[in-house]
Structures are given as structure tokens and as C-alpha cells.
Amino acid sequence: MAFDEHISGNLARCLGNAHFSEVVVVVYRSCAANVLVQEITDFISKVKKTCGYHESVLFVYTQGCDFISIVLGNHATAYKLTKEAQQYFLSQPVVLAAHSYKLESNLGSFSQRDGNYSLSAAHYRESLRLIAKAVNPENENVFIAFNSMGITLWQSSKLDSSLYYFDKAENLLSTMDSSPVNRYYRIAMINNNKSNIYAELGKTRESIAASEKAIQHYRLFIGSPNPDPRKTGATVFQFQAMDNLAKTYGELGDLSKSQD
């Protein structure tokens, strides 16, 4: 179904609907991957005309930018539209303040995907600065900022600083809901990254410990009862971590471990 058909069928109804955010997500996710960016920006414009400066407009912006970046792979346009959203809400500081750290984090993600790691780090630092000032920021957003900062600093070869943020991200997970994603998957991903960083730093024992923790948590996530599309990737990452661990043991001369 064409994007315009989704708009005409859902826009008028969803703008006054208590489940507005759910409808917007459905609109974006039900569109084919070849949706033109212009169709999304037209949708944003229609919502702006109807809603003015209501915070729902920000939601439409963020969901649209995520779609443009993740599905269409157009990170530069997602970045540009997020900056546009910031500019649009400058006259509404109360609304903007409640979402500013999330917008900065998104700008960091789009920059990171576009390969601009220095710009990405600057946005994540600003996001963390705003988080420190925010009243009861959502842990999910704080986690994303910590974890993303760790990835960006790793890609910038700032390894010790990267470990610092990965540790903060991992520690925060213990305060979040006990879903398999938080308890197993994210811990596995963080420790897989930490294992590689420790290896780059020549800290073999720490690298092994992080690898073993990653493998254990990948297994727990894959074995959790509820279906999750991330389990496919987790299986691949688990075997990669096992292969890396075997090579490390082989380099240490512990052949019994490398053959497990």
C-alpha cells in the first residue's frame, strides 16, 4: 500500500487518538523499504499543520528519522531532519527540554552510522550532559547514550574511555526491567565488545573473562522462552565469541580450552 494511503486512512483519526504513538509506528513500519524520503517529510508537514507544537510532532519526527536511517539507510537526511525538529521547537522550551537529550542521542546515532565519529561523540556528550540535568530521565535513553558513547569512543581508538562507558551501561542494566533483552542480550553484547577492547589493550585474561560472560549470556538469551528476532543475530555473535575465545586460548597454549 502506498504511503499516501496510510496517511489518508490514519492521519485524521490518529491525531486525536490516545494511542497516537502506536498508530504512527504502524504507519512507518507497514510501509515498504522503498518509501521515498519526500513522502515521510510530507507526512511530518501534515502533522505539524494539524498539531502545531504538540509533543506528538516530535514523536513523528523521531520515528520518521529512525525509519529513514535504519530502513532507508539515509543517515544524513535523518540527521538533518532531527536538527530541523530541534529548530522547530526552539520557541517551545518546555516541550524541547523534555526531549532534548533523546534528540542529541539520536543525532549521535545518525552521525555514528554515517562514519563521523568525532561529531557522534560530541552529540553523545551533550546528551549525557542534558541527562545529568534532567528530572527522572528514562533509563532506556540513558543506557543507549552510555552504550553508544562506548561504541563511538572504541571506533575512535579511545579504548580506556570506551571501557568506562561500557561499564556504566552494564551497571545501569541492573536497575532496568528484567526482560531477557536487558538481563542477557545487552550484557552479552557489551561484554563481547569489552572482550575485543581488552584484546586490543593486550589484557588477555580480562578479554577471556569478558568473552566467557558474553557467551554465557548469549546462551541464556537464545534459550529464553519468548520469541525475539534478535535471537538469530545472537546465535551468530555467540559462535563468533566462541571462535575468538578458542583462538585466544590457543595463543596462550591452553589447547584443552581451545578445543572445548
- What confidence tens digit (pLDDT) does each residue in 148-160 have? 999 999 999 999 9
pLDDT higher than 50, residue 1 = no
- Domain-located, residue 48: no
Assess if residue 126 is contained within a domain: no
Q: What is the pLDDT of residue 27?
A: 57
Count: domains in the chain: 1
Please report, rounded to a whole number, the percentage of residues in the chain having pLDDT higher than 90. 59
* Domain, as residue range, for 248: 177-260
190 in any annotated domain? yes
Burial of 245 (0-12, 13-18, 19+ CB in 10 A): buried
pLDDT for res 36: 76
Is the residue at 156 inside a domain? no
Q: Torsion angle, CA of 137/109/181/170, rounded to 10 degrees?
A: -70
The 10s digit of each residue's pLDDT in 215-252 is 999 999 999 999 999 999 999 999 999 988 988 887 77
- Decide if 223 is inside a domain: yes
Answer whether residue 17 is part of any domain: no
Instruction: Determine which of 18-22, 110-114, 163-167 has the lowest per-residue pLDDT on average.
Output: 18-22
Percentage, residues of the chain above pLDDT 70 = 83
pLDDT attached to residue 248: 83
- 33 — pLDDT class (breaks 50, 70, 90): low
Residue 11 neighbours by CB under 8 Å, 6+ apart:
43, 46, 47, 50
Confidence class for position 28, pLDDT limits 50, 70, 90: low
Q: How confident is the model at residue 24, as a pLDDT?
A: 56
pLDDT category at 12 given cuts 50, 70, 90 is very low
Per-residue pLDDT band at 129 (split at 50, 70, 90):
very high
* This prediction's pTM: 0.76
Instruction: Dig out the grid coordinates for 236 from the structure.
Output: 551468530
Check pLDDT > 50 for residue 203: yes
In this model, does residue 30 exceed pLDDT 70?
Answer: no
CATH number at residue 255: 1.25.40.10
Q: What is the mean pLDDT of the chain?
A: 85
Identity of the highest mean pLDDT range in 24-28, 93-97, 122-126: 122-126
Q: Is residue 256 domain-resident?
A: yes
Which are the contacts of 79, defined by CB distance < 8 A and separation ≥ 6? 65, 107, 110, 111, 114
Distances from the Cα of 233 to the Cα of 51, 228, 238, angstroms: 39, 10, 9
Residue 231 lies in a domain: yes
Q: What is the pLDDT of residue 103?
A: 95
Is the model's pLDDT at 29 over the cut of 70? Answer: no
